[in-house]
Structure 1
């Protein structure tokens, strides 16, 4: 590459950064302390933490901390290799056994992250010219998995099963078909219609995969997820979830029939070519699954807090995008207004994150609040009062 060519691509990249700055879509990393707590510190300022996915407060739970430390002390700091070489240390089988008993499934596979799980499963199962039907509000990792698979990507309107069925009718009966959805949507906080999706899956001979990242640990009799909450776990072919949100640790899991897990072990490139998780991570994950099964009270507090917070915001006139969960967005609209709203909240002492395109559609930028079981009623009252003050100041509510 000559000097002129180097300057050309460098200038193009700098211009793209300038463009992102101009449309208020340039992101920056911000150092945060105590994010595992209800109150955190950003840039030296103490703020109410309404941005964390630590829904049950387990990230700071000393039982997880001790389990992680014990695992590191016993097995070392790193896995040293991928699972298929020598990285499959004993804790993997222990965590997968706990998962099988918890989820009441035939088999389980632990992988490095929710992103790894989604791109890995979809790209392993689907082939060129197969068809993936994906809710328009699904996580980016699902979209990227479809791209990697080279399958045809059919995106149906959010929770619109009539649109999904119209797309399924057009698909060749000879092609492999996968329907994939979040169960709790990460940006709107609403739920998928799993009963309707199961009916369509059976009617059109499709595979059904669900992403339980924001439902694991919260819904179901023992926190198994939303599929168990609606008692459809035996009708869904592939269940994915994460340890990194309500379960307070890191990593992800896939559960299903034994043949499926065997196939993924042999064909899932994201598993085969990734170094295994450190022992400390698996020690904490195992402890989290064991704890959450017994802690119904914590799940009850979370749901009560979330319902209370949603009602207060709605009563003030905020648009919360149909949220039914602990994820409570407040729709603002334009990127620059949303960033300013988030800045004003931080100035008032609330950490809440502005979500902008491409994560959400154009002109649907929002503040994404997340409620946890560790928030007090006083925390939530103050947060809503402060948010309403900013909302009136900026003309978002009357």
Structure 2
């Protein structure tokens, strides 16, 4: 090695800690794993050596040595929702990373809009699963199914849509009331004092994320934009054919319709109806999730803004949280916080 070259930094091992502390490898293992039977003075010596050497446990290697593996179920929606398709693809990609950590993912697609179907799917999951990530309906039957899983020792993470009064261990998703408030502020500013009505289209008010978004939206629209009045929420079940018909009826019925806020999916149907009406440039439309379709509508000018959550971040976060919970490891709240992104035509990635 030439003079001045940097020495490679080697990761400290348990053997290094044992040598530095002047104790046996078995003693170091007991201290590091917080097992009893070691004198306080020896514990202090080992901990000092750990700090000095910067020793960090290789959790994956430890699981491998113990022959320990984890299997997780991701329960995702059926249908052609582009965001959910993207989320499913991201979960499949995350499965490759997780396998290196001795964790394995199975994806189950069910109708999450039907509480009996979703609850039944959770109730009938194999006992081989140590963790479950689910797009949750905030419904008594679904909450009961989550609680039963947790009571059996299965870690449950809610993904995208929460069931906060259940026993789930963590929610992975954006702050949905804040997302709705953001959409209302954008709507009010885009319309710049124009008077009229605004339509709100949800997928289902049984999904907590849709309910919380429309709540946040109404909260700001009613308190800060007196020139605009929100029409009663309608449910499109995230189906493009259904949202096309609903949007066409809204446009025909309300000549003063100034804006549409879609807090779910079914965006292809909304775009079709707006463009067929000839009012696409006149009605401000704000929706959720940047997909290949909403990207195209933004570029075309039919859509004005997208409130987005990163599906890849959510898939990885759910896997990390489940793995950490099953391994007894801490999570980093900042790393697992899902941020709200706002995309216009001008800042598309």
For Structure 1 versus Structure 2, the TM-score category normalised by the shorter chain is 0.3 to 0.5
- Higher-RCO chain (CA-CA 8 Å, sequence separation at least 6): 1
TM-score where L is the length of structure 2? 0.32
TM-score where L is the length of structure 1? 0.29
